[in-house]
Chain A
Amino acid sequence: MTDDYEHYEAVVVGAGPGGAAAAATLANNGVETLVLERGVEAGSKNVSGGLIYAEQSAPYTIDGLFPNFREEATERPADEYYLHNVAGNKVKTVDMTDLHHTDTEWCDSVLRRRMDGWLEDRVHEMTRETGGGLLTEVRVNGLLREGGEIVGVTCDELDPIKADVIVAADGVNSELARDAGLMDWDEPDEWFQGVKAIVDMPEGAIEERFDIREDEGEAHLFSGDLFEGVRGGGLLYTNEDTLSIGTVFHLDSLVAEQAEPHELLDALLTHPLLAQWLGDDYEEIEYGAKLVPDSKKVAHPSPHEGRLMLVGDAAGQMQAQGPIIKGMNHAVTAGALAAEAFAQAQARGDESTAGELYEQKLRTEGVMDKLRPPQYELASVVGENERVTELGERVVNSPLGRAGLKVAEKTGVLERGFNSPFVMSIMPDTKLPYVTIPTALGEALGDRVTDENTIQPPDLADRIGDLTYDVGDPHIELVDNSFAASGDAVSACPVSATDFGGGCYRDEKVKTNGSEEHLVSLDTQPCVECGTCAIVADTDWDHPAGGKGVEFKQG
């Protein structure tokens, strides 16, 4: 019976940048390739901040694999890059353009629906030539095994499919990586949560308010005291005629502070500093969110198992270099390297060596060193030590520390530090670099912003109301509905909030026989599939079936 299953040389799961690069490279090598994507169109499930890098040192770049990528699938180049250190109304802006351009061939802002949708067409054409193709609205729900060996994938919508190689490019919360036992979803400190709003800009407003031409763009980053002490920061990128404005926080910190992600985003949106760009009429087109892996902690050193190879977010290959976020480019590189490894192994007549070869390439091509900088492993031992952090905080906040900052600025040490890839790669995951130092910088050196920000971001109910959903069966099951086990999700879920009845997670006090229980209930209809509650609540977490669930139009 099992021999009747459809067979392809390669099956690629997920059509984000990682899957697209893998499929294109497989097709270029003449490998019969089938790509399975759960969204109604590639990109309809994906959210990113939006800067895609092409690194000079990388063996593969997206425009190398897909000619005309920049002309047809991106928004604007990110020419300039600023970090704003905020303390109340005072802001100290540091120009980080140098760091941004270090090892950068080019860097453009993107919107994922447009970008991934464009890639989908190319990938389909290319893979069809090999006898395969790209199918949307198919959700892979697990690995097909025979005698304990991985031999293919199983899907909600199709019969199992066998393959000589399976490339799992299914993003953060990869069900295949979980099924293979390569990744787990246990520790909040291994992830960031990204939340983003796409804001409509009247014609000509971007050029006028940022003082740039139509073919220019900017990136602005924000840190300091505007996020209730939660570790992380904000971002603003210019698109063709919209802005991407978002926040990225360490998930453990978000949970520890019981912070509401949408309120933190609002804190950024309504800060006086943004008034110059947002004007008086605020029109939000889309609200979205997604978990982001922290490669320093989770990039898998050996991301393969039998015929399965993990690439991109599925393997934790998402690098946060200070405020610079590099996930898409590494997903592209890894996808192409995995494909290259398989093609080589196949040519040598031993496909079983593909995984090893891929791992080796990640190392020799320098990808692994970027994802898990050796210097970080050393520095974190000291940097994340609580006493050191405390000490650091006290020094920075002392008069002496303040004086030091001023000296640092005068002598240029400050800009140099912010523009040093080395310093940025060893930033410890503590409040020190995210909150304490930027706040101190803003206070000691910042200029006061006098603009008034009058905009009113939509409330959560309206944000949910503006999203498009194709309602399916609940895809997340609450295993333990006690508040103690799953209550963190009420605040951490980007579409839920304490005292909001319209979210996924709701906090409820239920009376039973005289005693009162503190519970949470879950309705998955407003879910944006960010993956947060897979980690912070006690759930059985799956993605919705193909084509079901939220559909992002921007991403």
Chain B
Amino acid sequence: MPDIDPTDHEIADLGPKIKDVEDVQELEEMLALEKGGEDRVPVKTLIEDRIEKLSGEEETVDPSEVDLADQTVADIANLVREVDDGDVLRDMLEREKDGKDRKSAKEQIESRIDSVEGSDEDESEDLEYVPPEEKHPDLDHPTADKQWVHAIEDGVYEDMWVYCETQQGDLINVSKEMLGKARGLMDEYNEEYDADEQVIAVLIGDSVEELAEVCIAYGADVVVYLEDDRLSRFRHKSYTEIFCDMARGAGHPYGRADRPEEDWRDYDEPRYTVFPATNNGRDLSALVQGELDSGLASDCSDLFIESAMISNPAKTGRPGEKKEFDRILHMKRPDFSGFEYSTILCIDKPFREFHPQGASVIPGSFDLPDPDPEREGEIVEHEMPLDDEWFRVEVTDFDQLDSGVDLSGNDVVVALGRGIGDDPTEGIELGLDLVDQFEDADLGLSRGVITASYQFAGHVEQYVGMDRQIGESGQVVEPDVYIAAGISGAVQHKVGMDESDTIIAINTDPEADIVDFSDYFIEGDLFDVLPELTESLEKGELDVKALADGGNTTDD
């Protein structure tokens, strides 16, 4: 008796169930039951298809004989993976050319030929280093300013360094996300390679020492920091110089001559570096990786460490040869607006080392870890002379970029809707006047106002933008008092404000939906009601707070 008796089930439920049955015998029994029972054609077809599929799978296909025209490109890709004999593969290639001649199918077969035969090709002698200017005499001194290449030979590389960006005296979230990720990666790394490498947090700024403990709580083993008043704002010259000086160990051929030895480290450069893909992080990551003469995978969304089998002759040094590189940071980044991903590897090549392997990471790609205040770590103040030259550019003034208006923290929100349509500018002015009556209040808008063709006079225009929209596609607010003037209360607006403690609606239409979920409704023209409200608040006749607390109500 099979687990599933098809006659007990509706056709729609059976589809997925049958797909899970792996046993042909069981399916045969089910088929018999159906035939003897309800005998539904679609059910029989479903079961028969499944039987056919399973029996088909068991058949083994002989690559040297199979008719390639019956195989999909994916089938062929699977098929060739099993074949190690170049002659069989070449024969398959011919058959494909005579048959369907699919480009993608041929590529699959050819690449398999390359990988089975590549390594047998003539053993070339050991490579010899030829400087680029000799190798390419036809080019106009291709490396004339070679002096800035600061890659090292036979370098020692260790640890994962994380640049921890701060804003307004705090670590930004992506810094914590990167620390959490680095912690996980290095724990696995140490296990896999039986090593003892660490997560190093880098803090540069004006008063950043106090953040060192936070970095440790989020996963750092060592925090290297440098503080200076002049570093209160990010400037790429000084920040790059400092980061690179920190990164290069004592005795580094291109480092500072008097760079002392340090107890906590014994290597030339970091193995891995990770930066945030923020404006400043992108700037710094490119400069640092350039200065250290390595590469950079920018805007990554995932990182993992694995070995990689590489056949690119530029990396292996010998055409046709495959070489395994271990401890490779795989840096995944979205392409085609996230539809596809590329994985970037930064690998040494003959006569040229590509370290640190560096990435910048899109904020939000990794989970924000829970801090562990018990964690212990080492805090190292980095000392170095700061050259005045690095601060030639003076920051005389700066503006906090308008990251939008945050309406969520206010006690009172005055929101205006399309009821202001008769005179939009005056409507906004009246709303702002009312806002001014409260200590902690701001102006919100319905989407209807923002998407209108209203023309606003210059002095109020700045108040009309998506950043003040309340609702489903805007902000969600829960103030003590929400005053909605000329807003109909569409459900998409409602979801942004109906958790407010007290809702006061002003509307000419007593049937408007908003009346249904308001605590107080003032029927009237907002151009009259708003100034009245403002006036009575000014005179102290009305206490909106008291209203909110359920005190006396005024008339309408």
Q: Give the interface of A toward B (CB within 8 A).
A: 7, 32, 67-68, 71-72, 128-131, 157-159, 461-462, 464-465, 471, 481, 501-502, 506, 508-512, 519-523, 525
Contacts and interface: CB of A to CB of B under 8 A. Distances in A.
Given A72-B12, A461-B488, 11 more contacts: A68-B42, A71-B11, A71-B41, A71-B42, A72-B42, A131-B73, A157-B336, A464-B490, A465-B492, A521-B452, A525-B447
A511 B73 CA distance: 65
A72 B513 contact: no
Interface in B419-458: 421, 423, 447-448, 451-455
Interface of B: 11-12, 41-42, 45, 72-74, 102-104, 336-337, 339, 417-418, 421, 423, 447-448, 451-455, 473, 488, 490-492, 513
B448 A502 contact: yes
A158 B336 contact: yes
A124 B24 CA distance: 25
A286 to B, nearest CB: 16
Nearest to A545: B337
A501 B418 contact: yes
Given A159-B336, A465-B492, A511 B453 contact: no
Contact of A67 (B45, B72, B336): B45
Contacts of A7: 103
B99 to A, nearest CB: 12
A465 B72 contact: no
Nearest to A524: B451
A158 B490 contact: no
Contacts of A461: 488, 490-491, 513
Given A72-B42, A157-B337, A501-B488, A131 B454 contact: no
Nearest to A503: B448
Contacts of A465: 490-492
A159 B452 CA distance: 36
By Cβ-Cβ distance, the 9 closest A-B pairs, closest first, are A523-B451, A521-B453, A465-B491, A501-B418, A519-B453, A68-B42, A131-B72, A501-B448, A521-B452
15 contacts: A68-B42, A72-B12, A72-B42, A129-B72, A462-B491, A501-B448, A502-B488, A508-B421, A508-B454, A510-B454, A511-B423, A512-B455, A519-B453, A520-B453, A525-B492
Contacts of B102: 32, 131
B229 to A, nearest CB: 44
A502 B448 CA distance: 7
Residue picked from B336, B447, B453, B490, most chain A C-beta under 10 Å: B453
B451 A521 contact: yes
Contacts of B423: 511
A511 B454 CA distance: 8
Contacts of B41: 68, 71
A355 to B, nearest CB: 24
Contact of A508 (B453, B473, B490): B453
B269 to A, nearest CB: 36
A546 to B, nearest CB: 9
A522 B448 CA distance: 10
Contacts of B447: 523, 525
A510 B455 contact: yes
B92 to A, nearest CB: 16
A72 B41 CA distance: 12
Nearest to B73: A131
A170 to B, nearest CB: 20
Contacts of A130: 72
A159 B490 CA distance: 39
B339 A157 contact: yes
A510 B453 contact: yes
Contacts of B448: 501-502, 506, 523
A72 B453 contact: no
Contacts of A71: 11, 41-42
Nearest to A130: B72
Contacts of A508: 421, 452-454
Residue picked from B418, B452, B455, most chain A C-beta under 10 Å: B452
B452 A158 contact: no
A519 B451 CA distance: 13
A520 B513 CA distance: 24
Contacts of B339: 157-158
A118 to B, nearest CB: 10
A254 B106 CA distance: 58
Given A7-B103, A68-B42, A502 B454 contact: no
Nearest to A8: B104
Given A68-B41, A72-B11, A522 B492 contact: no
A462 B513 CA distance: 10
A67 B448 CA distance: 49
B306 to A, nearest CB: 27
Contacts of A72: 11-12, 42
Nearest to B452: A521
Contacts of A501: 417-418, 448, 488
A523 B447 CA distance: 9
B453 A502 contact: no
Residue picked from B336, B337, B451, most chain A C-beta under 10 Å: B451
A522 B336 contact: no
A337 to B, nearest CB: 25
A519 B424 CA distance: 14
A511 B421 CA distance: 10
Nearest to A508: B453
Contacts of A509: 421
B202 to A, nearest CB: 37
A158 B339 CA distance: 7
Contacts of A158: 336, 339
Nearest to B446: A501
A501 B490 CA distance: 10
Nearest to A9: B102
A481 B455 CA distance: 13
A502 to B, nearest CB: 5
B473 A525 contact: yes
Nearest to A474: B451
A129 B492 CA distance: 44
A501 B508 CA distance: 14
Nearest to A132: B72
A228 B79 CA distance: 68
Contacts of A462: 491
A131 B105 CA distance: 10
A510 B42 CA distance: 63
Residue picked from A159, A501, A502, A520, most chain B C-beta under 10 Å: A501
Contacts of A525: 447, 473, 492
A128 B45 CA distance: 20
Contacts of A128: 72
Nearest to B75: A131
Contacts of B455: 510-512
Nearest to B71: A131
A381 B490 CA distance: 49
A7 B339 CA distance: 17
Contacts of A523: 447-448, 451
Nearest to A67: B45
B452 A506 contact: yes
A131 B74 contact: yes
B44 to A, nearest CB: 11
A520 to B, nearest CB: 7
B490 A502 contact: yes
Nearest to B103: A7
Contacts of A520: 453
A60 B417 CA distance: 55
Nearest to A462: B491
A522 B74 CA distance: 47
A510 B449 CA distance: 13
A99 B513 CA distance: 47
A511 B420 CA distance: 13
Contacts of A131: 72-74, 102, 104
A72 B14 CA distance: 12
A462 B492 CA distance: 10
Contacts of B104: 131
A462 B488 CA distance: 12
